[in-house]
Amino acid sequence: MAESMRDIKRKIRSVQNMKQITKAFEMVSAAKLRRAQEQAESARPYADKIREVIASVASGTQGVKHPMLVSRPVKKTGYLVITSDRGLAGGFNANLLRTLVKTVAERHRSKEEYVIFVIGRKGREFLKRRGYPVIGEVTGLADSPEFSDIKQIASKAVGMYADEEYDELYLLYNEFINPVTQRPVEKRLLPLSDMKNTEAASGPKALYEYEPSAEEVLAELLPRYAETLIYSALLESKASEHGARMTAMGNASDNASDMIGTYTLQYNRARQAAITQELAEIVGGASALE
């Protein structure tokens, strides 16, 4: 019985140590989440302003055309998937990758019909291990990434569309709803064929004068806008990652508390049984001496 009590105490100490770790992770993720939210919110006005200017050019200038504004028959598709480098975030990566696998299976019959860009070590390992056609990757991003960190892969993804190496480009990432809820989403990034409709539906806008020409302004802004959307999705994904990890570590801490309570109850019962047995032996010995 004494050996059993030692085992239970060892389990209690082990779970208590694990709870300290998960609680620390939870607090760190909460702090990172606040910073990630602020960074994601600060990037939105820039993207909105570029979209406004592009919509103005696209709708207000007759005869202006650009490959990124025109839909064409889809022969090949590009996907840019944003995952995390680390785990311990619940279903953050698994749910997104499951969405990607399902989407690819429904749309394509062979690997010749699509290519994949991936951000994050978890996504890279998952896709390469299963033989998916990954043609671009970025790993090791900081918790507060800069645009320069993903500039190369974003430019490559947008440039390959402009060069007609594929006919549409989709973003897949976790959309941040709140610290407890993150939703895997798929958004079509290219072509930007809804720009003219956006301008028409949103009412009067400021008038712009273009130098040297509207065509050249559009050619410069469209790739930057697409790259900005990729960066904004990355910031959303980072906020979702920290929220998912905070929630997962909070649940782990709660489960550890429940386990400690269960083991403590077992320990007390074992201790009581040991005391009862010792008393019974003492009483039995005293009775034998009478």
pLDDT given at position 177: 85
Tens-digit pLDDT profile for residues 204-228: 556 666 667 767 777 777 888 888 8
Q: Give the model's pLDDT for residue 184.
A: 93
Token pair of 56, please?
């103005």
Q: What is the C-alpha to C-alpha distance for residues 39 and 25, in angstroms, rounded to an integer?
A: 21
What pLDDT shows up at residue 96? 95
pLDDT of residue 42: 82
- Determine the Cα angle at 121 with ends 117 and 122, to 5°: 95
In the structure, what pLDDT confidence band is assigned to residue 58 with cuts at 50, 70 and 90?
low
Smallest CA-to-CA distance from 208 within 197, 221, 190, 223 is with 221
140/151 Cα distance (integer angstroms): 14
d(CA 289, CA 200): 104
| Cβ atoms < 10 Å from Cβ of 95 | 14
Cα(278)–Cα(274) distance, rounded to whole angstroms? 6
**What tokens does 137 get?**
């990757």
Domain ranges of the chain: 2-26+248-283, 43-244
Q: What is the pLDDT of residues 136-168, one digit of tens each?
A: 999 999 888 988 899 999 999 999 998 889 999
What is the C-alpha to C-alpha distance for residues 223 and 37, in angstroms, rounded to an integer? 25
pLDDT at 204: 58
Q: Please name which of 44, 17, 54, 46 lies closest in space to residue 198, comparing C-alpha atoms.
A: 54
Strands (E), the chain: 77-82, 114-119, 134-138, 168-178, 181-190
Rounded to an integer, what distance in angstroms lies between the CA atom of residue 250 and that of residue 40? 24
pLDDT for position 250? 92
Q: What CA–CA distance (Å, rounded) separates 235 from 196? A: 27
The three-class DSSP label of residue 169 is strand
Q: What are phi and psi of 222, to 5 degrees?
A: -60, -50
* Residue 251 binned pLDDT confidence (cut-offs 50, 70, 90): very high
Q: Which fold has domain 43-244?
A: Pyruvate Kinase; Chain: A, domain 1 (3.40.1380)
C-alpha count within 13 angstroms, C-beta hemisphere, residue 10: 6
pLDDT tens digits for range 15-29: 999 999 999 999 999
Query: Can you name the residues that pair with 187 across neighbouring β-strands?
Result: 171
Q: Is the fold of 2-26+248-283 the same as that of 43-244?
A: no
What DSSP assignment string belongs to 15-35? HHHHHHHHHHHHHHHHHHHHH
Residue type, 206: A
Read off φ and ψ for residue 6, nearest 5 degrees: -65, -40
Question: What CATH architecture is 2-26+248-283?
Answer: Orthogonal Bundle (1.10)
- The pair of structure tokens assigned to 187 is 């958004």
**202: helix, coil or strand?**
coil
Residue 50 has pLDDT above 60, yes or no: yes
